[in-house]
Structure 1
Amino acid sequence: MAEFTTGEAVALELPIARIPSRAGAFLLDLLMQLTLAFCLFYAGLLGLAFAGADSAWFAVLGVVTMVTVLVGYPVCSETLTRGRSLGKMAFGLRVVRADAGPTDFRHALTRGLTGAIVDFWMLGAFGSVAVVTALCSREGRRVGDVLAGTVVVHTRQTLPRPALAATPPWLAGWAAQVDPSGMSDELSGAARQYLTRLRTLTPAAQHQLGARLAEAMCAAVRCQVPAGYPPYHVIGAILARRQQLSLR
């Protein structure tokens, strides 16, 4: 398990996919790629032979088939399924961003190109680079994951629901007027960490840390700290407002 912090400062623990499951998914994807390569190349050969093309076209066919299979297959499959190739589907895996969000074409393209060039084929010594880098990474990330900012996780296990901040009813009206768009992810993460550790802090530490955080958060959202309320009420109200807007 590894902890991820989402853009709305929600902490999630997701089960990381390790080498055995990823290797199984890779081998199944490799089988699909070989099948695709055979079909494309055989169809191309028939077309070129029927057209009476010269030998240069056969070389072009080989390059096009290789690029389509090694890069096009993983990029298209992970883009269309939001991080799940056929092999990953079979083994219950998914590629997610480092903040546990869904991936897009940019992430799939980075992973696909790096996989073909560095991790597996051209410079990867048939996957040796991917295995070594995954073993050296706490999240099991290969070079493509590092460059794309992604992690491969299991999706078949039941994931815990994230604990969300709640707005105190007496601050609901005030919080509704707050615009948290100017607050950084680092400040939101610090606020969430403070709230989750609140019961372990002494009353003095609760007040001192909370007062500093409340002032920093109110400065970020351009409002005054409401008087007469404990700092953790103010922090929870702003954080809940940020989560509410980010989930729309």
Structure 2
Amino acid sequence: MSELVTGDAVVLGLRPAKLPSRALALAIDLAVVGAAFVLVSIGLAIATATLDDAALAAVSVASFLLVLVGGPIAVETLSHGRSLGKLACGLRVVRDDGGPIRFRHALVRGAMGVVEILMTLGVVACIASLVSARGRRLGDVFAGTLVVRERVSAGRVAAVPPPPPWLVGRFSGLDLSAVPDGLWLAIRQYLTRMHQLDAQAGRSMAERLAVELATRTGVPVPEGVPAGAYLAAVVNERQARDARRVFFAAQTGSGVPAGGAVASAPMGSGPSVGGAGAGSVPVVPAVEEGGAARAATGFAPPA
């Protein structure tokens, strides 16, 4: 486990990918991109058979840049760090602070990849990854990114604390379809480690995540609701929807119910109410108020 420190002095635990898994992911990506380049080259050769040598050279350079360089950059940007090879190996590119990458990060990684992967057959990338404590190649160092493992065994995943009882079900009408996986990951990391953080740094991070989540859902954070409690309640709502979706799919075999589009990956696990009933949701301990509520959920009720 690597301890990554965010700009708010918050320590996040991410599991950096090792060289073998990264090499396998890269091999898959290169095979796909190489096949695409061959097909494009054949098509261009047929289409430009009447051009002179200078024009053919220009077309060849353009196809190289667009397919072998621009292709991976576009894929990493649109998928927020998950190319086909990384998806197959359970890896993902994230920023140093654990957030999702953007175009500038993918551009730097792609530009450096031409030198350390394509021009040197991956030798420079392998050496840099072996020397780096977190397995980063030069493109990761200059872009400020890190390749991490997304798939970890269930026994190693920390449970997300339940929300305060007074917030359970309050966000049932939120549209969560626009919330990206990277934001869910950051929220989960905060919730599972909020008691280990400095109070001021933790509050700052919770407020930033709450604002970003509210922007994605289109509904502002309710007045008087602490940012941490709001995050826990929305995550609980996502878990409840996932539980209903899985049950519905198991009973009918028809997938997601109409109007019930939800995120695909559960954020945690826990016992449910009503056994296998259609409305089963994670159990929230029944508590009274004040200190009991904080002890059970980690959040205090509003004054």
Same fold judged by TM-score > 0.5?
A: yes
Structure 1 unaligned blocks of 5 or more: 164-194, 198-234
Matches for 1:115-126 after TM superposition, within 5 Å: 115-117=113-115, 119-122=116-119, 125-126=120-121
Amino acid at match of 1:244: A
Aligned to 2:30: 30
Change (3 A) 1:114 1:5: same
Letter in 2 for 1:94: R
Residues 74-115 of structure 1 show CA distances to partners (whole Å, capped at 9, x for unaligned) of 101100000111111111110011111110000000000001
Q: Do 2:4 and 2:11's aligned partners in 1 also have CA atoms closer than 8 Å?
A: yes
CA distance in 1, matches of 2:48, 2:112: 31
> How far has the Cα of 1:45 moved from its partner?
1.3
Q: Which residue of 2 aligns with 1:145?
A: 140
Paired position in structure 2 for 1:156: 151
Matched, 1:134 2:136: no
**Greater Rg by CA:** 1
Q: Distance in 1 between matches of 2:78 and 2:9?
A: 27
Matched AA of 1:136 = V
- Please tell me the root mean square deviation across aligned C-alpha atoms, in Å: 2.3
Given that residues 110 and 148 in structure 1 are in contact (C-alpha distance below 8 angstroms), is that contact kept between their aligned partners in structure 2? yes
Instruction: Tell me if structure 2 keeps the 8 A contact 1:10–1:162.
Output: no
Following the alignment from structure 1 to structure 2, what is the Cα–Cα distance between the partners of residues 162 and 110?
Answer: 34
The structural deviation recorded for 1:120 is 1.2
8 Å contact kept, 1:112–1:144? yes
Higher helix share: 1
Task: Return the alpha-carbon distance in structure 1 between the equivalents of residues 25 and 10 of structure 2.
Answer: 29
Letter in 2 for 1:121: L
Mapped contact 1:94–1:153 kept (Cα < 8 A): yes
Q: Percent of pairs identical after alignment?
A: 42
Q: 8 Å contact 1:4–1:12 — kept in the other structure?
A: yes
Closer/same/farther in 2, CA of residues 42 and 34 from structure 1, 3 Å limit: same
The 5-angstrom pairing of residues 61-210 of structure 1 reads 61-117=59-115, 119-122=116-119, 125-157=120-152, 159-160=157-158, 196=196
Alpha-carbon offset, residue 8 of structure 1: 4.2
Letter in 2 for 1:243: M
The gaps in structure 2 that reach 5 residues or longer are 162-194, 212-303
Structure 2 partner of 1:15? 15
Per-residue CA deviation, residues 135-191 of structure 1 (Å, 9 max, x unaligned), is 01110000001000111000011544689xxxxxxxxxxxxxxxxxxxxxxxxxxxx
Distance of aligned partners of 1:162 and 1:110 in 2 relative to their CA distance in 1, 3 Å threshold: farther
One-letter code aligned to 2:27: L
Structure 1 residues 99, 161: closer, same or farther in 2, change over 3 A?
A: farther
TM-score of the superposed pair, with normalisation by structure 2: 0.54
Paired residues in the alignment total: 175
Distance 2:40 2:145 in 1: 30
The aligned runs of 1:49-68 (5 Å cut-off) are 49=49, 52-68=50-66
1:13–1:160 Cα contact (<8 Å) kept: no
> SS where residue 3 of structure 2 aligns?
strand
